[in-house]
Amino acid sequence: MTTSKPTAALPEKHIAIIGGGAGGFFAAITAAEANPAASVTIYERSQYTLSKVKISGGGRCNVTHSCFDPAKLATHYPRGSRELHGAFHRWQPQDTIHWFAERGVTLKTESDGRMFPDSDDSQTIIDCFHTAADNAGVKLLKGVGLKNLTHHSSHFTLHLSSGAEIQADAVCIATGSLKASPLTRALEGLGHTIEPLAPSLFAFNVADSRTHGLSGLSVQAASVSLVASALANASSRQSKPAPQTGPILITHRGFSGPAILRLSAWEARSLQDLNYHFDIMINWLGDQTENQVREQFAKLRTHKGRTLVRTKAFEAIPRRLWERIVDAAGISEDTPWSQLSKTVETKLIHELIAGRFSVQGKTTNKDEFVTCGGVRLKEIDFKTMQSRKVSGLYFAGECLDIDGITGGFNFQAAWTGGRIAGIAMAADR
């Protein structure tokens, strides 16, 4: 990759990529490979490129997800699902896998569908991008941020943090989250709407005697939902909240794990409205109903009448957690199944499948978080990723009002947007 000082000279065709992250690199490499005559430059405000790729997936980079049906893939995005459905017909995980394989990087699939480089090292992905960008002649300017953007009839002026003003024929905004970005005002000035920004993918803070001291325990197939009354005050709520099923991890601060993170993503805006104070309900047995649990208790009463209730009763629930559930139902230590009254049994069932917890704040997950909100999707043509407001202006990645749940979906959205924008910019004008 060549690094050069900003120049005021107008090249044959200058494609400016704003942001040297996942979406920006994919767009730049695609455009430069598709149109070798064009001058493609990445403007990166920091001294580091691909810094999120580096730390992603705990340093392993969860590149994409093993899901190859565009319709199914699109269901993993709380925002952007409809628009991405069409875009995935143009570039989806299968294409991502081939793209990396052609460049010598093979990916492996874990049992839950997440895909990582065989090396288990995000540096493999970074090296691949740098080599591909270098080979395609992409120029990289580090420490140069875009402060403002002016649109003229056939080109743009980029106002850079270095003080230089550069002209470009096409511009791709790939800056990641627009939180605290100076570009928000510039984009609004160009006619774009920025959907409210809110964090997504976070853990819940819960201080509760039922889970105190149990940090590290997890239940693999639990389910969690918002207590409906919590949502009455959430102004951005549009539909009924859906329970999320999967692993729940007890942490020293409360709850985390895939089911919790998914709930935080789907309810990102509602939970922000509630200032992260709300009630949740946990079913430690996933989707088991009251009747199903009652039947199991009846069997325990018949076949293990003398066994103490606090003795581990369900394979899926760790012993110490089960003891807390039993305590919370008010069952004494020496109660055997044969002596469990109907009233107390009902209490136990409620603790087990509808345990209510009060959430008081959030903790950003150290492994993965994204911003929900960004440039309004109706204002983008997803066949090209071009603005419907400003000809020659393109977008890719998290600056758009798109975010996915954990599992490689956020990077896939960045690859898809970057690819489509790169192809379109290479052909533009």
Ligand X SMILES: Cc1cc2nc3c(=O)[nH]c(=O)nc-3n(C[C@H](O)[C@H](O)[C@H](O)COP(=O)(O)OP(=O)(O)OC[C@H]3O[C@@H](n4cnc5c(N)ncnc54)[C@H](O)[C@@H]3O)c2cc1C
Nearer to ligand X, 318 or 374 (CB): 374
Among residues 170, 156, 98, which one has the least CA distance to residue 424?
Answer: 170
| Distance of closest approach, residue 73 Cβ to ligand X, in angstroms | 12
* Six-digit token string for 368: 């993965």
Nearer to ligand X, 145 or 243 (CB): 145
| Distance of closest approach, residue 141 Cβ to ligand X, in angstroms | 9
Q: Which residue, judged by CB position, is nearest to ligand X in the bound state?
A: 21
Binding site for ligand X (CB under 6 A): 18-24, 43-46, 51-52, 55-57, 61-62, 145-146, 174-176, 181, 183, 367-370, 397-398, 408-411, 414
Strands of the sheet with 386-387, listed across from one edge: 139-142, 39-44, 14-18, 170-173, 393-395, 386-387, 380-381
Kind and range of the H or E run holding 254 = strand 254-256
The DSSP-derived string for 2-31 is B---------SSEEEEE--SHHHHHHHHHH
| Distance of closest approach, residue 49 Cβ to ligand X, in angstroms | 6
Q: How many Å is the maximal CA-CA distance in the chain?
A: 88
Q: Are 69 and 400 in contact (CB under 8 A)?
A: no
CA torsion through residues 163, 37, 383, 81, sign: negative
Nearer to ligand X, 56 or 288 (CB): 56
| Distance of closest approach, residue 154 Cβ to ligand X, in angstroms | 23
Kindly give, in sequence order, each residue whose CB lies less than 8 Å from that of residue 390, ignoring residues fewer than 6 positions away.
151, 190, 191, 192
Nearer to ligand X, 39 or 200 (CB): 200
| Distance of closest approach, residue 189 Cβ to ligand X, in angstroms | 15
Nearer to ligand X, 60 or 90 (CB): 60
Kindly give, in sequence order, each residue whose CB lies less than 8 Å from that of residue 184, ignoring residues fewer than 6 positions away.
178, 194
| Distance of closest approach, residue 178 Cβ to ligand X, in angstroms | 8
Nearer to ligand X, 18 or 423 (CB): 18
